[in-house]
Amino acid sequence: MTIPEDLLYTKDHEWVNIDADKATMGITDFAQNSLGDITFIDLPKIGIQVKQSEWCATVESVKAASDVYAPLSGEVLKVNTELSSHPEMVNKSAYEAGWFAVIKIADLTEKNKLMNFLQYKEYIESLSK
Amino acid sequence: MQLIFEKSRAGRKGFALPEIDVPITGALPEKYCRKTQANLPEVSELDVVRHFSNLSRLNFSVDTNFYPLGSCTMKYNPKFTEKVAAMEGFSGLHPLLPQLLGGGMLAQGSLEVLYNMERLLSEITGMSAFTTQPLAGAHGELTGVMLIAAYHKHNGERRKHIIIPDSSHGTNPASASIAGYDVVVIPTDKEGFLDMRSYKQALNRETAAVMLTCPDTLGLFNPKIKEIADLAHAVGALMYYDGANLNAILGKCRPGDIGFDVIHLNLHKTFATPHGGGGPGAGPVGVCEKLVDFLPISRVVRRTDGTFALDYHKHKSIGYIAPFYGNFGVILKAYAYILALGKSGLIEVSENAVLSANYCLARLKDYYALAYGKSCMHECVLSAARQLEQGVHALDIAKYLIDKGFHPPTIYFPLIVKEAMMIEPTETESKETLDAFIEAMIEAASLSKTNPEALRLAPLSMPVKRLDETRAARVPDLRWQPK
């Protein structure tokens, strides 16, 4: 299970990469592994406002459909349109090619609610106990 | 197996039309003529008969095999109820008859069935009144949530969300969302019950209702159910009972007595009417006293002279939710089932359903991990977590059971259990059948150690082998196309 050191994480297994006022987000390796083969991804529309911990995308796998929550609030600037024809990219490359969206960060203090890689690692370990 | 299109041979016919002996009057207008070939199969009558007879022999049903599909209650559907539903007095009745002047007097028997069914279901569940109109369980859920919304609106309140546990049936959040409510999801605690701390935090004056299944999808009866209901009522929220698992508690406890305000039932589960393709379904909704006025129209009423009629004059009603009076044939079958079993029979249904599930659990717990608890109600949830160490998934075990002649249990549900396998044997199966199934499950557990590859290749005895479900979902091939 890979957990890059330079990203922040949510309890719902989203990752976020903060670059100045922009945040790139996706789901973690742990999330894609638990979901199994992903078959469809419903991404947010560009320009909508998402709120931290609220819906921003839906992922369907062979096992189930799950909601993905926004790690930070803000406007959706860009989405990874490649995922609509190649949802398997999330299975293959959760942190790189499998990114979901770029959000214009509305409130940077919200990042205090996120976990760093060590906290997330500990959190995942506590789940499998 | 070939598709009927692949059996087609140019010029082959199954019938012959007589020669036209009337004058042909002009061609069809251009706009009604198709531009592309219909590509219908050209086959003989014998080709068609063999094709569909062979297809029907591949059908898997509760009439042919054991079907322990958890949460779905695939119990045997007794045939006498079909006979009752086919009686001409019922099946020949025109649905508009009771709405015609004087017509109601020609439909007294059917109206009485609906009236009595409402009374029976109210008695069984402890509710004040029922509507038999909803056409399926999910339709019942939506109706129930609409009743809740109507109630709050009537009281001048705008409540925003509905509380639902993370172990719920997927239809619960869907119904709440379609009715316009936000969904607040409550996690499950270590014992497998609603996490009380999160519940209390989420509950407030904006909570419209709490939707619960009890026993829940883990097959557990929540001992704190009364406390949960009291807390909800204290903030003016209503309690919704998802009746999918009522078959575990018939005659043992009544949702209305616990404090539930709205309930839907799945007649095709608890009351043994056919499912799915053998259906259609029926999802009657029951309510407590304060919600009666909001029930959909029409209502079946009993006049002072003892005759029955339909009442459409209910100004607080949420209105029409279905044409006519629901799936009458299904209601009739469930009515016959309830009358035939009676009180003692219904109690035995639940006792034996719970006994069967616990028998499976007791015999399988040494081979598979238990999700929660040490016993269960009408279904047990096992996990293939141990088998996963050998690289064997719940899916592989499910496919292996097909080779053994069993319908697989529900897998990967509830979502909160890793590699879940949800077994619901129902009360209608013999000990011999349960033993045969258990032996197959034990074989699968031992194969996962000695020959996991055999499980990964299953099923081997079916007309189609292991299907690539991922590719089927990503690149669906939904229709035959001529080459």
Percent of chain B as helix, strand, coil, to the nearest 5: 40, 10, 50
- pTM here? 0.88
- Per CB distance under 8 Å, which residues of B are interface residues toward A? 412-413, 415, 418, 469-470, 473-474
- Judged by CB atoms closer than 8 Å, whether chains meet at A64 and B473 is answered as no
Q: What number of CA atoms fall less than 13 Å from residue B285's CA on the CB side?
A: 31
How many A-B residue pairs are in contact by the CB < 8 A criterion?
Answer: 20
Q: A113 touching B, CB under 8 A?
A: no
- Judged by CB atoms closer than 8 Å, whether chains meet at A40 and B473 is answered as yes
* pLDDT value, residue B476: 86
- Judged by CB atoms closer than 8 Å, whether chains meet at B473 and A39 is answered as yes
* pLDDT value, residue B277: 59
> What domains can you pick out in chain B, each with its CATH number?
90-340 (3.40.640.10), 349-474 (3.90.1150.10)
Question: What does the mean pLDDT of chain A come to?
Answer: 94
* pLDDT value, residue A103: 97
Q: Cis (ω within 30 of 0) for the bond into B280? A: yes
- Written as six digits, the tokens of B441 are 């499950």
Q: Which residue(s) pair with B183 in the sheet? A: B162
Would you say B74 and B276 are in contact if contact means Cβ atoms under 8 Å apart? Answer: no
Q: What does the H/E/C string look like for A73-86?
A: CEEEEEECCHHHHC
* pLDDT value, residue B479: 87
- Under DSSP, is residue B66 helix (H, G, I), strand (E, B) or coil? coil
Nearest residue of chain B to residue A66 (CA atoms)? B415
Q: pLDDT tens digit string along A3-51?
A: 999 999 999 999 999 999 999 999 999 999 989 899 999 999 999 999 9
CA distance A76 to chain B (A): 22
Q: How far apart are alpha carbons B329 and B260 in whole angstroms?
A: 28
Residues of chain B contacting A40 with CB distance shorter than 8 Å: 473-474
- Judged by CB atoms closer than 8 Å, whether chains meet at A63 and B412 is answered as yes
Q: pLDDT tens digit string along B3-48?
A: 999 999 999 998 888 998 998 888 889 899 999 888 899 999 999 9
Nearest residue of chain B to residue A63 (CA atoms)? B412
* pLDDT value, residue B276: 66
Would you say B185 and B173 are in contact if contact means Cβ atoms under 8 Å apart? Answer: yes
CA distance A61 to chain B (A): 8
Report which residue type is found at B483.
K
DSSP string, chain A: ----TT-EE-TTSEEEEEETTEEEEEE-HHHHHHH-SEEEEEPPPTT-EE-BTSEEEEEEESS-EEEEEBSS-EEEEEE-THHHH-THHHHH-TTTTT--EEEEES-GGGGGGSB-HHHHHHHHHHHT-
Backbone angles phi, psi at B112, to 5 degrees: -65, -35
Stretches where chain B sits below pLDDT 70 are 276-279
Q: Which residue(s) pair with B243 in the sheet? A: B265
Q: How far apart are alpha carbons B319 and B298 in whole angstroms?
A: 8
* pLDDT value, residue A127: 83
- Judged by CB atoms closer than 8 Å, whether chains meet at A62 and B473 is answered as yes
* pLDDT value, residue A129: 62
